[in-house]
Every structure is written in structure tokens, then in C-alpha cells.
Amino acid sequence: MKVALFAYAGVDRSWSLGRLTYLFYTGLNSLGVDTYLVSKYNINQSGLKYIKIKRYPKIGKKDILTDVFSTYSTVKKLKPNVYHLLYPHVSSLLSLPFPSSYSKVLTIHDLKPLIVKEFLDRKEKTNISILKFSLMFIDRVIAISRSTKEQIVQLLGVDEDKVSVVYNPLDPIFRKLNEDEIVDIRQKYGKFIFNLSRFDKLKNPVNLIKSFKYIASCDDNIRLLIVGAFWHYGKSLIENELGKYKDRVDIIERIENETLVKIYNASEAFLFPSIYEGFGMPIIEAMACGTPVITSNRWSMKELAEGVGELVEPEDPVDIAEKTCKVISDKGYRDQLVKKGLEKAKQFNYLDLSKELLNVYEITVGKK
């Protein structure tokens, strides 16, 4: 089987879509699938089969000619059995109505603007309209969680039988380390709870910070370490809400993967009380590193962590705090969550999920 993966996101493992592209490309190739990356950008990594799309002049600063016509002609010449868009790149979706002999597969990660209406601005309304239109020409939709599948069926009107669930794969760099490998992190940050999120309303920064005021009072030594972009906008929130506890919060806006792995391992618990997620890969990363998870009791977060982590009401900072304090103070309970989490993380092995993805391809091609 020959597969073309839409790879505008690149293969940089320092961010989610780049990591997803790299892991599925690697996994499919290990299974003997003739896999190609298709992108208008250079992919500077040796050993990868990639086809550079010819770029045309922009129209009003938009790459519409490249994304629609050049992408289509490039994929058509490649003659794959499957063309898989790993995410809904809006202008590239407009190439899907053109006739083709290959099966078209699209992964949808979340439907944030339809779930949280305040995000449904004019631009997002246009994007959703294009997505709905393009779905008429898609042979198979992949949802990254059962929660997302339900949303696709209910909100986009896609036939349930047309939607397959394939979870996002875990990068094997996220693993449990030996104690001597994380000494430097413990010395630098002490005893801490970890949160990985950008400063964004959906990541629930207000209730995260409010909850820490209560958490700090239940443990005189506990700190909060936040890693994520745009948190410089949250400094006034931290000062206003935490008062005397404000100096117990550390913020890092960007770090390398290996440092991230060490932080997961060194933390007392991973606190991830998002309002909405299509998946929530940090939950699985934390589990793979042997860190107990505290996350929201809704959407995909509940799907991933129920019975394995501690579920909280994300809009109740007291509930978040009480359950976090339970995890960090009760060693026996904490150890149970660590054990369950490590076992759960095994379900997200990228080779196993590549096999599931290949099975979806084979079923889809067989029906075309």
C-alpha cells in the first residue's frame, strides 16, 4: 500500500502535530507501508521520503493556489492508495472535491468553536463551513478520541459508520527515569505540582491559579511549575490571586523535550484541569513518566483518565485543590495512580496505533 501523509506541520517532535506526523510516518514505514510526506515546506531530516509541493504566487497573502491546486496535482501524480490529511488545514480541504482514484482520509482533532461558542467568530464560522463541505468528499474520518467522534457525529452530521477512532500516539521519549536522572530538576524546583498548558481560557488558568491558593495551604513546601506559552500574560493573575503564595509559582514558556520528560518525572502530580480538550496528550505523557494525573471530569479527559487518574470539576477550584492535596499527601493512593497510569500509557504505543491506522486505511480502500 502507498500512503501520502499531509505534512504541512513538519516532523518536529517538539510540538504536537509535528510529533504526530513523525510517529505515524515512522510507524507506517516500520509496517512496510510505502509512506510519503507531502509538504510545501522543506523537511530537513534525512531518511524520510518527502515530496515538496511546487509553490505558486500568493493571492492576497494567501497560499490558496499552492494549497488547493498544487497540492492536488502533487498527490494525484504520486498515485497513492490513501491520502491522509492529519489535520483539517482549511485551504487544503478545498482540493478534496477534485476527482481522484485514491481514498481520502481526514483526522479531526477537536471541535472547539462548536463546543465553546465564544470561540465561534466569523473566521471560525467560515472554517467550519469549509470543513462541513469537504466532508462530502472524504471517504473516512478519523477522530482522536471517542468523545471527539461523538461530537463529529452530532455536530457535523457525519454518519457514525464513517468515523473511526484512532488515538494519538505517545512519543517513546516520554518514559520513567531513574532518580539520578532528575536530581537537577528536584534541586532547582523542589517539591512541585506540574501543569503543561499555554495561557488560554480553555486551559482554565484562572481556576488553576485559584486552586493553588488552597493547595499551598495544605502543604507548606509544595510549589506549582507551569510550562507553556503566553504565561507572561498571567503574571498579574498570579499576583492578584495568590498573594503571599505568588513566589511559589514558577513559569517556563519554552523547554526542550528531554527537560520536559525530567519535569514530568520529578513532579508530585500532573494537574491538567482544562475546560475542553479533543484529546489531551499531556495526560498520557505524564502517566508514561510515572506521574499521577489530576484532570477534568469531562470530554476526552474523562475518557483517558477515568479509573486511572483523579477527576475534578474544572470550574470548582476547591474541588481541584482537595483532590490534588489527596494525591500528594496520600502515598499509598499516589502509588496506585502511578501504577495504573504506567499500564494505561502502554495502550498508546505508536507502533500499535500505526497498526490500527493501517487497518482503517485497508478497510477504507476496500470500500472505495
Please give the pLDDT value at position 219: 96
Instruction: Using alpha carbons only, give the angle 324, 240, 216 rounded to the nearest 5 degrees.
Output: 25
pLDDT-derived band at 44 (thresholds 50, 70, 90) equals confident
Give the mean pLDDT of the chain.
Answer: 97
pLDDT per position as a tens digit, 76-109: 999 999 999 999 999 999 999 999 999 999 999 9
Evaluate the CA torsion angle 173, 175, 178, 182 in order and state its sign. Answer: positive
Q: Provide mean pLDDT across the span 114-119.
A: 93
C-alpha atoms less than 13 angstroms from C-alpha of 66 in its C-beta half-sphere: 17
pLDDT at 367: 81
Convert the pLDDT of each residue in 202-261 to its tens digit: 999 999 999 999 999 999 999 999 999 999 999 999 999 999 999 999 999 999 999 999
**106: enclosing H helix or E strand:** strand 103-108
- According to the model, what pLDDT value does residue 46 have? 87
Instruction: Indicate whether 368 pLDDT > 80.
Output: no
pLDDT tens per residue across span 338-361: 999 999 999 999 999 999 999 999
For 39, list phi and psi in degrees, rounded to 5.
-155, 155
Which residue carries 488558568 as its cell? 205
Whether 59 shows a pLDDT value over 80: the answer reads yes
> Burial, 73: exposed, middle or buried (Cβ in 10 Å; 0-12, 13-18, 19+)?
middle
Domains located in the chain, CATH noted: 2-169+349-367 (3.40.50.2000), 179-347 (3.40.50.2000)
Per-residue pLDDT, 255:
95
